[in-house]
């Protein structure tokens, strides 16, 4: 439905000035003549290849500066890539080789901006009707009569639950209602694709959670294809059919939410999605698909491993996969197929439905999540237990980083963050 091939985009600052680089991004590569006041180039997109299927809710997830919004704006036609191809419903919207760059109003798109971009001088009905009154008739946008326009607006308002607010001034709506108004305006032309640029980021936490359900319901009922940009991993996991994780202008992984969470394709994905504990280690022994890893936390058993003995890895153990018990009440071995670690509770954070606890295990600090009535006081000696089937491995490259790999190369596991000495 949406096909993106080898799309690149660089930002250049003239006169020797360096473009502002977000935290975590590598310094820009100098352009020709940069040493004596020439331009400096910062790559935003580095050869993006992506497929979005019809009727899919597809999320672009990543930190600030990863390129997700630049990619979304390139799809919309609000940014011109330096190279590559963007095709929508079989029609080329952008091609650097063919010299094609279709204007945004001809791309059959709807868009919801982070600020909603609601017209303050119009009522709700006129805001939604605006795209119908200004668009140019064409192959994908036939001319509509006033009666047909009214029917389209009423249909869109009903879909988002604002049918009773048609005559109200847009500025008199709540934040959640304005967000729904922006979605209705994006849907009213019945576009092939709707783009959403962090539309929930301005809402309070409770409203943001309720609007996730609203967006998911709306997408399922209308069947429209949506591409959604966010840095909020909870939103991405809750809403999406497919999550594409981006970092430094590249795609790290593109997969269903559960696969991104359970089978991260790189260290970046493992760190960014969820709250992983990561421990350095080396695969010590492999037999019948299972492995033993020598790590900074001691020997760790892994139920499934596609790596060879001697490979350097990061062991991932997720906080929710641990069982925590007072050391004097826990079994010594944790049971068959389990890994156990002795430690001491050093910090506790109450978060309502759960408690986050940091537990010192040797030189490492491991984070665990517990039900609030099961949390143990700070200073308590504890024994942690995690099943070998819940431990995952990410292989390291020769330079100490981690390389994306086939998920079958990973051990089926959890998450563990290395915080020793911090």
Nearest Cα residue to 184 out of 194, 192, 197, 174: 194
Position 124 scores a pLDDT of: 97
Give percent of the chain above pLDDT 70.
Answer: 85
pLDDT, mean of residues 107-122: 92
Position 136 scores a pLDDT of: 72
Q: 47-257 is classed in which CATH architecture?
A: 3-Layer(aba) Sandwich (3.40)
Higher pLDDT, 121 or 138: 121
- pLDDT > 80? residue 28: no
Position 409 scores a pLDDT of: 37
Give percent of the chain above pLDDT 90.
Answer: 72
Position 15 scores a pLDDT of: 54
Its CATH class, for the domain covering 276-409, is: mainly beta
Higher pLDDT, 299 or 399: 299
Instruction: Render 369-413 in DSSP notation, one character per residue.
Output: EE-GGGPPPTT-EEEEEEEGGG-EEEEB-TTS-B----GGGS-S-
Q: Which residue has the tokens 């033993």?
A: 292
Instruction: Name every residue whose Cβ is closer than 8 Å to that of residue 365 and which is 6 or more positions away in sequence.
Output: 346, 358, 359, 417, 419, 420, 422
Specify which of 71-85, 130-144, 370-384 reaches the highest per-range mean pLDDT. Answer: 71-85
Nearest Cα residue to 187 out of 226, 228, 244: 226
* Structure confidence at residue 103 as a pLDDT band (50, 70, 90): very high
pLDDT tens-digit series, residues 143-195: 789 999 999 999 999 999 999 999 999 999 998 899 899 999 999 999 999 99
pLDDT tens-digit series, residues 223-279: 999 999 999 999 999 999 999 999 999 999 999 999 999 999 999 999 999 888 999
Task: Write out the H or E segment, with its range, that includes residue 131.
Answer: helix 124-134
Same-fold call for 47-257 versus 276-409: no
Position 399 scores a pLDDT of: 42
Q: What is the CA radius of gyration of the chain?
A: 25
Rounding to the nearest 10 degrees, give the CA dihedral for residues 263, 234, 252, 109.
130
Q: What are the Cα distances from residue 173, in Å, to 154, 181, 182?
A: 17, 9, 12
3-class secondary structure, 20 = coil
> Is-contact 216 12, C-beta < 8 A?
no
* Structure confidence at residue 141 as a pLDDT band (50, 70, 90): low
pLDDT tens-digit series, residues 44-79: 999 999 999 999 999 999 999 999 999 999 999 999
Where exactly are the structural domains of the chain?
Answer: 47-257, 276-409
> Is-contact 412 317, C-beta < 8 A?
no
Q: What is the mean pLDDT of the chain?
A: 87
pLDDT tens-digit series, residues 331-348: 766 667 899 999 999 999
């Amino acid at each position: 439905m949406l096909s993106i091939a080898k799309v690149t985009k660089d930002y250049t600052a003239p006169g020797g000035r360096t473009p502002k680089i977000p935290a975590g991004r590598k310094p820009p590569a100098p352009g020709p003549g940069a040493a004596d006041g020439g331009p400096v180039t910062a790559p935003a997109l580095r050869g993006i290849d992506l497929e979005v299927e019809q009727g899919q809710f597809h999320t672009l997830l990543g930190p600030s500066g990863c390129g997700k919004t630049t990619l979304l704006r390139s799809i919309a036609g609000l940014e011109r890539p330096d190279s590559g191809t963007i095709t929508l419903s079989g029609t080329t919207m952008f091609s650097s080789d063919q010299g094609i760059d279709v204007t945004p109003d001809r791309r059959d798109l709807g868009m919801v901006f982070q600020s909603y971009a609601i017209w303050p001088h119009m009522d709700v009905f006129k805001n939604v009707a605006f795209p119908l009154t200004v668009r140019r008739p064409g192959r994908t946008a036939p001319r509509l009569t006033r009666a047909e326009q009214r029917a389209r607006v009423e249909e869109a308002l009903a879909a988002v639950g604002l049918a009773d607010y048609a005559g109200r001034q847009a500025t008199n709506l709540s934040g959640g209602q304005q967000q729904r108004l922006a979605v209705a305006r994006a849907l009213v032309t019945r576009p092939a694709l709707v783009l959403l640029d962090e539309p929930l980021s301005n809402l309070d936490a409770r409203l943001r959670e309720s609007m996730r359900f609203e967006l998911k319901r709306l997408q399922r009922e209308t069947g429209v294809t949506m591409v959604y940009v966010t840095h909020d991993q909870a939103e991405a996991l809750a809403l999406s059919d497919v999550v594409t994780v981006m970092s430094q202008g590249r795609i790290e992984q593109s997969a269903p939410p559960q696969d991104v969470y359970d089978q991260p394709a790189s260290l970046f994905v493992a760190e960014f999605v969820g709250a992983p504990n990561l421990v350095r280690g080396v695969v010590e022994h492999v037999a019948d698909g299972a492995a033993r890893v020598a790590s900074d936390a001691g020997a760790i058993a892994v139920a499934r491993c596609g790596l060879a003995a001697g490979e350097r890895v990061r062991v991932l153990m997720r906080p929710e996969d641990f069982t925590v018990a007072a050391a004097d009440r826990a079994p010594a071995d944790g049971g068959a197929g389990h890994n156990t670690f002795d430690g001491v509770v050093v910090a506790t954070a109450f978060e309502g439905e759960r408690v986050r606890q940091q537990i010192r295990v040797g030189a490492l600090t491991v984070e665990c999540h517990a039900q609030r009535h099961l949390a143990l006081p700070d200073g308590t000696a504890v024994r942690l237990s995690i099943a070998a089937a819940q431990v995952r491995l990410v292989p390291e490259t020769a330079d100490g980083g981690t390389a994306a790999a086939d998920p079958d190369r990973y051990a089926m596991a959890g998450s563990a963050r290395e915080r020793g000495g911090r």
